[in-house]
Amino acid sequence: MERIKVAENFYLDEFIPRHLYVRYHHKPHILLNLILPEVFEIAQKLRDKYGPMYINDWWGMDARMFYVAMKAKTVRNWSGLRTPFWTDFDKIHSWKNFIIYHNKYYSEAASHSRGSVFDAKFKDHQNTDHIVEDLRLNHKVYGITELETGTGTWVHTGIRLNYEDEDSLYIYAKKSKK
């Protein structure tokens, strides 16, 4: 399986969950159509300004290592596109014996399910409030129309599809856990 470069510092696997990449890596056009091209441009602009950042980081894990990391919540698999389920397609030799795992992070109404946003963690920025503020003030420069505030340690941004005014910024606050 090879990596598909989508920007100077990014590969497609960073935006696609592992099960889809494993299943369709030999048909990259299918995977590329799942993410808006502008999302790659936004990610590169953020990388250029704020340094190394991580979206999905499952690349290089075999099926067993990935499964263990998913259970331990030590791998990022849902920071780009989100699907309602996941499975270990690389372990399947028959459709008779496989397990489908529900994705608790999926919502059919969320921009993640349309490939128009991503969540990023930055290597050199443990707190990202100043990055979120920069994006809020300069959203036109970055080309973003969606931003989540109150995340603290990551940045959620991208393009809000079907938003009334493409020059506006749709901002919402992270829901607090009760």
What predicted TM-score, i.e. pTM, was given to this entire model? 0.87
d(CA 31, CA 28): 5
**Per the domain annotation, does 89 fall within a domain?**
yes
**Per the domain annotation, does 80 fall within a domain?**
yes
Whether the CB-CB separation of 13 and 136 falls below 8 Å is answered with no
Domain range enclosing 43: 5-173
Mean pLDDT of 40-67: 94
When divided into structural domains, the chain yields a total of 1
CA atoms within 13 A on the CB side of 49: 13
pLDDT, position 130: 95
Q: Percentage of residues in the chain with pLDDT exceeding 90?
A: 60
Q: What is the pLDDT of residues 148-167, one digit of tens each?
A: 998 999 999 999 876 666 67
